[in-house]
């Protein structure tokens, strides 16, 4: 893995940062893009060998500049981690802001498509390319009042399945990760949204979230990162086209 060249979108914080740290720890060369420039600077202080660039994944032009830049600075791309995504608002469909819906799709689906589209020629040159798409447990359950997010994450599963067939002949393997309730600020925002729309307290919606899974704790972002590193390693070379849940054995939708 010390020879791998890894591009991670939205890698300056949260799950993306954990993935970047895990690949660096294995000796990989890593390029992280993010829209949050202060977070990129902070990460570069901790991981000085990481290449960074500011990039808005909703912008096709920005992506078409960023991916070749990553390839040039690392000498190619072996692994693409499509981590960029936004949760969107918590609202019923009849009250959902159409502009907010389009924003979620532009980043979560179209952004992933555009990054992947531009990266594929480099992954083909790699000879052992890997694509990891960050879906969600919302990609296998419906979530009331989270229709845009859930729809986008279901879409990423279809994208993953199609890509795995399309690119298998080039030796490129493609998988999706489906994290459940993950420890960090984003999940706390989701809980606050659920509390606001349901009239329940934050403690009540937190308990509801844990009631839907067998393991009664939040997913550690570092464990998601470990799974990504495994899939990109030689040990994962026979795994492709899969939607891999890492969610504490979630059994049903938490409302």
Tell me which residues are annotated as active site: 149
Contact 195, 204 (CB under 8 A): yes
Task: Name residue, tokens 């447990």.
Answer: 137
CA angle 153, 156, 159 (to 5 degrees): 160
The whole-angstrom separation of Cα 129 and Cα 174 is: 9
CA gyration radius, the chain: 18
Q: How many CB atoms lie within 10 A of CB 216?
A: 10
Contact 84, 10 (CB under 8 A): yes
């Amino acid at each position: 893995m010390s020879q791998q060249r890894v591009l991670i979108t939205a890698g300056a914080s949260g799950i993306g940062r954990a993935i970047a740290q895990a690949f660096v720890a294995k000796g990989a060369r890593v390029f992280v893009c993010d829209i949050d420039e202060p977070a990129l600077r902070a990460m570069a202080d901790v991981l000085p060998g990481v290449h960074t660039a500011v990039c808005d994944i909703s912008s096709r032009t920005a992506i078409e500049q960023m991916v070749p830049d990553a390839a040039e600075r690392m000498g190619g791309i072996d692994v693409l981690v499509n981590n960029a995504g936004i949760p969107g608002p918590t609202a019923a469909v009849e009250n959902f802001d159409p502009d907010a819906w389009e924003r979620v799709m532009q980043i979560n689906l179209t952004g992933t498509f555009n990054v992947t589209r531009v990266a594929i020629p480099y992954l083909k040159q790699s000879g052992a390319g890997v694509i990891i798409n960050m879906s969600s447990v919302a990609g296998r359950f419906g979530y009331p009042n989270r229709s845009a997010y859930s729809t986008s994450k279901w879409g990423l599963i279809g994208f993953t399945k199609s890509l795995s067939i399309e690119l298998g002949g080039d030796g490129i393997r493609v998988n999706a990760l489906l994290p459940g309730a993950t420890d960090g600020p984003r999940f706390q925002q989701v809980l606050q949204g659920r509390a606001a729309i349901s009239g329940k307290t934050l403690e009540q919606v937190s308990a509801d979230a844990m009631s839907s899974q067998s393991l009664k704790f939040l997913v550690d972002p570092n464990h998601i990162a470990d799974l990504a590193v495994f899939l990109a390693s030689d040990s994962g070379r026979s795994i492709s086209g899969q939607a891999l849940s890492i969610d504490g054995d979630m059994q049903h939708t938490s409302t």
